[in-house]
Structure 1
Amino acid sequence: MSKRRQQQQLLDSLARSAKNFNKGEVECLVKLFNRLAAEPSNHFVNVGLDRNMFKDVMHRTFGMTDDVILDRVFRTFDKDNNNCISAVEWVEGLSVFLRGTLEEKIKYCFQVYDLNGDGYISRDEMFQLLKYCLPKQPSEEDTDEGIKDLVDIALKKMDSDHDGKISFMDFETTVRDDYLLLEAFGPCLPDIKNSIAFEEKTFQTTRKV
């Protein structure tokens, strides 16, 4: 099969699976992906995006700085766990990241916060996530106490079955009641300003038509 035909099949498939983008937008995202994947600093040149390249894009484009969160965002995009983001994973991941429905965003945020992938956000995971969100205090102990208090507040608000951890059902129920708690354990979605800037820059060719 010719390379052109393969590319066309990829675009057709992604236009169906990444349903929050139209075909022209999918094409723009694949072009951007190919450009990033070809950069010499990328470990998987012309194959996909390695962890460092992906984190660098998220940092430069969306202002994301928390290393723990960035690592989890990479893991959430990397569906097959091969440490490389493929074109399909890139477009489908961005479909949720940029334009996901509430349901898609709840699933995505929960996956990011579930650090060990066991289906729960434990007290320890909440502590690790929140530790990097709070400004450093003169004494490390002061910070730790403040974080423990935040973890207790989060559990009180979200742990509806009182088992000391947050299940997906707990998380979903709480967020549907209060949307502001979607990113309770750290920013893992783009803010509106960065999201609009990225879309305008990436999709400008499709919008001139």
Structure 2
Amino acid sequence: MAEMSALSRKLIQNMAETLSKQVKHFNKTETECLIRLFNTLLGEKTESKATHGLDRGKFRNILHSTFGLTDDMIMDRVFRTFDKDNDSSLSVKEWIEGLAVFLRGTLDEKIKFCFVVYDLNGDGYISREEMFHMLKNSLIKQLTEEDPDEGIKDLVEIVLKKMDYDHDSRISFSDFSNAVRDENLLLEAFGPCLPDLKSIQAFEQHAFQDTSRT
């Protein structure tokens, strides 16, 4: 058993060595901690293989309980944004690459991340319909009007006026990027899809708590 544990430790260290060179924002020790956390979430007994992926359900639980995201549609889109090869589960590399942007991304990286989350059909634009859908989802609880749809349609027009720089009635990546650079608060204009500072600190404290001992 001790041999197995030493072997699995070595495998994790080797994997961390490789991944920390490929992924920005985490050093080798932090990467190792994230691999261990990934294995724990998977329920791996030996910690030796991180070949199985993290499924949507487990990942959504983390988004909800650890990072406070509540919108089902947005959580689903965050999962898809992490899941680069689109195989409905997260590999350890996708997990670490995704968290690098999610927790410590530069403004550029976060703009790209949020745009991909909000571009529901992946066509490179956020359309009026997509805006309506997301805003309705995130605001419906707060609206008390008889016909909330009208209020949301008005809001879509306001957002378009502010973010549609080339006036083609939809938001391209370039529009989104320019708008967010002019006004950072627009980064999560269509619903929270990034963790707040408090959640990030709590997660990192938990995930990296044993780094001082390594």
Q: Compute the TM-score of the two structures, normalised by the length of structure 1.
A: 0.91
AA aligned to 1:15 is: S
Change (3 A) 1:60 1:139: closer
Q: CA deviation at 1:177?
A: 0.7
Distance in 2, matches of 1:204 and 1:6, equals: 21
**What stretches of structure 1 of length at least 5 have no aligned partner?**
40-44
Q: Is the counterpart of residue 113 in structure 1 residue 118 in structure 2?
A: yes
Match of 2:4 in 1: none
Change (3 A) 1:87 1:155: same
Moved over 4 A (4+): 2-6, 137-141
SS at match of 1:150: helix
State whether residues 136 and 143 of structure 1, in contact with CA within 8 Å, keep that contact through their aligned partners in structure 2: no
AA aligned to 2:64 is: H
What is the RMSD of the two structures over their aligned residues, measured on CA atoms?
2.1
1:87-117 superposed Cα distances (whole Å, 9 cap, x missing partner): 0000010000000000000000000000000
Equivalent of 2:151 in 137, 146, 153 = 146
Match of 2:189 in 1: 184
Match of 1:198 in 2: 203
| Equivalences for residues 42-61 of structure 1 within 5 A | 47-61=52-66
Change (3 A) 1:194 1:152: same
Q: Between Structure 1 and Structure 2, how many residues are aligned?
A: 204
SS at match of 2:138: coil
AA aligned to 1:201 is: H
State whether residues 38 and 46 of structure 1, in contact with CA within 8 Å, keep that contact through their aligned partners in structure 2: no
AA aligned to 1:122 is: S
Match of 2:70 in 1: 65
Distance in 2, matches of 1:169 and 1:199, equals: 32
Distance in 2, matches of 1:104 and 1:172, equals: 10
Q: CA deviation at 1:10?
A: 2.2
Distance in 1, matches of 2:188 and 2:101, equals: 14
| Equivalences for residues 118-133 of structure 1 within 5 A | 118-133=123-138
Distance in 1, matches of 2:101 and 2:17, equals: 18
Distance in 2, matches of 1:122 and 1:85, equals: 28
SS at match of 2:78: helix
Match of 2:161 in 1: 156
Q: Is the counterpart of residue 103 in structure 1 residue 108 in structure 2?
A: yes
AA aligned to 2:158 is: I
Q: Is the counterpart of residue 32 in structure 1 residue 32 in structure 2?
A: no
Distance in 2, matches of 1:147 and 1:138, equals: 9
Change (3 A) 1:157 1:68: same
1:136-162 superposed Cα distances (whole Å, 9 cap, x missing partner): 378775211111111001100010111
1:42-87 superposed Cα distances (whole Å, 9 cap, x missing partner): xxx9601111111011111011110000000000000000000010
**What stretches of structure 2 of length at least 5 have no aligned partner?**
1-6, 45-49
Q: Compute the TM-score of the two structures, normalised by the length of structure 2.
A: 0.89
Change (3 A) 1:140 1:17: farther
Match of 1:19 in 2: 24
SS at match of 1:63: coil
Distance in 2, matches of 1:149 and 1:101, equals: 32
